[in-house]
Amino acid sequence: MQLDAISHVRQLPGSFPSPDLLREFNDTEALDVAKSVAPAISALLSGSIECSLEVLFHPDAFWRDHVALSWSLRTFNPTPAIQEKVVPLLRRAAVVPSSIVLQKDQVLAFAFPNGVSVVRAPFAFETSNPKAQCTAAFKLIRMKNGEVKVFIVTTALQELDVMPWSKIPSRIPQDIPTAVPTSVDVLVVGGGHAGLSISAYLKSLNINFVMVEKQAAIGDSWGKRYNSTTLHTTRIFSGLPFIPFPSDYPLYIPAKLIAPYYNNYVRDLELPAYPGRECISAVWDDLQAQWTVKLEGKSGAEIISARNLVFAVGIGGREPIIPDFPGKESFLGESLHSGAYTDASRWAGKRVVIVGASTTACDVAQDCYRAGAETVIVQRGPTRIYPQEHITAGQAVFWNSKIPVEVGDVMATEDPIVLQAALSELVLGRMKDNHDPEYYEGLRKAGFLAAVDGPVHQQVFCRGGAHYPDIGACGAISRGEIKVKSGAKIEAITPTGIAFCDGTQVEADVIVYATGFEKDARKSIQPIIGAETAGSLEPVWGLDAEGEVRGCWRPSGHDHIWFQGGELQTMRYFGKFLALQIAAEIAKVRPTPCRV
């Protein structure tokens, strides 16, 4: 049973307590504070005592679980929900009492940007069902009366005893068969960032798997995008597991450098990657407990059996969406979706209209202006704008040369989404308030509808777009080099351009539809697995009512179908938990996931 979806992160329950109700911690007392509550936490984790959590927990506490207990991704709030849901899961996991250890060297006190002071007290523990290594990060707050309360807990599965992690790259060279093996435990469909990241984790778990990619070469998923494609997130933030982007790469990496990085990644980790194979069909056999998969490539059809399928298709399946505007087929010029766009050199001197105003639209518009085209953006709704320096500063807090990437991932990602979003909104708001007001005023005067408030989580997880981390287009818009048409709905596409409901028309020789891609990967894979099976799966992407991403990195509704996707850092962080769930399924030690 799936949880209801939300349309905005502000719909999520729970919030930070007011700093006015709390007393601060300092570094010198952090360890003593953690030690003072360690016995109660140990008793809770081991289930050795029966007590109400109201004594130990703040009334509006959160417990976020990354597979360790729920065998899914779940967030429980407030404390009565934790009492009802988490305590039985702890009993089911059968935590070994003697294994519960406070990680004293990792205890620290710090204040969130909103002034809420916490002590982070991390524990390691082992479970018996299944036998596994886990962690629990307790964030403690202190009330005005001096009582220390648990406010946030994040439990996470780290390793399965039956299938431990191994170090990669391996010192022992391995031969990768030139032909696709006919039988594997896991078939990864997709060889872009999503496929490579989950493949690296599967490799480290010594799982029998292969990865297939329909493009002719690994890296084409980036190499064949428009020529000016550049990451809008920083180098350290964006790398794959185990082997980051080279340190001599620029801070914001162009696509032409991503493709060789992918190829080197496959080579260095010795991943069984098979490009030039498209997954045509997959049929599940209950008796054999396996998929029969048909691949199609240059050499013809190949049949492979697999126990598990991982659809590593990013956010959605890169299926382009072009709204069915009246008269669309009547346009006499050139029209294309941004997914087919490469460069604007052939459009010099022409009138190019880009329908859309998010990241890709702004990139394409910048290309067109630089190529000498008369460029207009048609903006159908506000675009959340982040100046590039704000993105750089925000990501540098957790992803920098001093903090290991894995540590930064945990620090930035472990807390519940509703709390992350509140802090994101606060920090971005402060940076906006301190930024040059002419930056925003210039956009307003140009007619560009710039949304400047709210958390990045809304665009990433709920909208799956409608934002632009600015790498230069905003300046071109403010200077009038890129024109903007906003505030009026498209009424029709005409033979010579676009007509709007306000009676105006924009003439065009070229229309680029930067109108996005299908977000829900179920629709992309339906031709492969069939409508009935696809319909039985949970929606993919968007947030559920607990603040967890739907369908991705967690049970999908079919025990042998999994999805790996998202933006680059979340694929690196959550891909580990996805791989562990698959490993437990293969080893037949996976408990029933907690779905409601």
Calpha distance 552→271 (Å, rounded): 23
| Three-point CA angle 87, 93, 96, nearest 5° | 105
With tokens 């050139």, the residue in question is 334
CA R_g for the chain: 25
- What length does the chain have? 596
Residue 171 lies in a domain: no
Is residue 349 located within the same domain as residue 223? no
Calpha distance 322→429 (Å, rounded): 33
Is residue 506 located within the same domain as residue 540? no
Residue 165 lies in a domain: no
Residue 375 lies in a domain: yes
H or E element that contains 294? strand 290-297
Question: How distant, in Å, are the alpha carbons of 4, 168, 243 from that of 246?
Answer: 41, 17, 8
H or E element that contains 364? helix 359-370
Is residue 152 located within the same domain as residue 93? yes
Is residue 233 located within the same domain as residue 285? yes
Residue 390 lies in a domain: yes
Calpha distance 3→545 (Å, rounded): 6
Is residue 147 located within the same domain as residue 280? no
Is residue 341 located within the same domain as residue 476? yes
With tokens 């953006």, the residue in question is 377
For the stretch 44-92, pLDDT in tens is 999 876 667 989 999 999 999 999 999 999 999 999 999 999 999 999 9
Is residue 90 located within the same domain as residue 149? yes
- Cα torsion 215, 221, 224, 226: sign: positive
Amino acid making up residue 440: Y
Calpha distance 54→131 (Å, rounded): 30
Is residue 264 located within the same domain as residue 155? no
Last residue of a domain, one of 160, 191, 219: 160
Calpha distance 86→143 (Å, rounded): 24
Task: Evaluate the omega torsion of the peptide bond into residue 539 and state whether it is cis, within 30 degrees of 0.
Answer: no
Question: Cβ(348)–Cβ(228) under 8 Å?
Answer: no
pLDDT attached to residue 175: 80
SS3 track for 544-590:
ECCCCECCCCCCCCCCCEEECCCCHHHHHHHHHHHHHHHHHHHCCCC
Last residue of a domain, one of 160, 191, 209: 160
Calpha distance 125→4 (Å, rounded): 32
Residue closest to 4 by CA, chosen among 541, 544, 554? 544
Amino acid making up residue 129: N
Is residue 266 located within the same domain as residue 189? yes
pLDDT attached to residue 1: 47
Q: At 192, which CATH number?
A: 3.50.50.60
Amino acid making up residue 407: V
H or E element that contains 431? helix 417-433
Domain that holds residue 235: 183-318+518-586
| 556: its two tokens | 């999908």
Residue 90 lies in a domain: yes
Is residue 474 located within the same domain as residue 353? yes
Backbone angles phi, psi at 274, to 5 degrees: -130, 90
Calpha distance 373→370 (Å, rounded): 7
Question: How distant, in Å, are the alpha carbons of 278, 319, 551, 579 from that of 522?
Answer: 17, 11, 9, 20
Question: Cβ(394)–Cβ(234) under 8 Å?
Answer: no
Residue 31 lies in a domain: yes
Q: Chain-centre distance of CA 85, in angstroms?
A: 26
Backbone angles phi, psi at 311, to 5 degrees: -90, 105
Residue 169 lies in a domain: no
Question: Cβ(554)–Cβ(546) under 8 Å?
Answer: no
SS3 track for 6-48:
CCCHHHCCCCCCCHHHEECCCHHHHHHHHHHHHHHHHHHHHCC
Calpha distance 227→382 (Å, rounded): 26
Last residue of a domain, one of 114, 145, 160: 160
* Bridge partners of residue 153, in order along the sequence: 63, 138
Is residue 477 located within the same domain as residue 338? yes
Beta pairing, strands 300-311 & 183-189? parallel
Residue 187 lies in a domain: yes
pLDDT attached to residue 50: 65
Is residue 228 located within the same domain as residue 188? yes
Calpha distance 53→228 (Å, rounded): 54
pLDDT attached to residue 510: 98
Backbone angles phi, psi at 168, to 5 degrees: -130, 150
Q: What is the pTM of this model?
A: 0.95
Question: Cβ(407)–Cβ(515) under 8 Å?
Answer: no
Cβ-based neighbours of 89, under 8 Å, separated by 6 or more: 65, 69, 70, 594
Residue closest to 540 by CA, chosen among 529, 530, 553? 553
Domain total for the chain?
3
**pLDDT (tens digit, 0 to 9) for every residue of the chain, 596 residues total?**
456 789 999 999 999 999 999 999 999 999 999 999 999 999 999 987 666 798 999 999 999 999 999 999 999 999 999 999 999 999 999 999 999 999 999 999 999 999 999 999 999 999 999 999 999 999 999 999 999 999 999 999 999 999 999 998 877 777 888 889 999 999 999 999 999 999 999 999 999 999 999 999 998 877 777 777 889 899 999 999 999 999 999 999 998 899 999 999 999 999 999 999 999 999 999 999 999 999 999 889 999 999 999 999 876 556 889 999 999 999 999 999 998 999 999 999 999 999 999 999 999 999 999 999 999 999 999 999 999 999 999 999 999 999 999 999 999 999 999 999 999 999 999 999 999 999 999 999 999 999 999 999 999 899 888 999 998 999 999 999 999 999 999 999 999 999 999 999 999 999 999 998 888 889 889 999 999 999 999 999 999 999 999 999 999 999 999 999 989 999 999 999 999 999 999 999 999 999 87
| Three-point CA angle 429, 435, 441, nearest 5° | 100
* Bridge partners of residue 484, in order along the sequence: 377
Q: At 55, which CATH number?
A: 3.10.450.50
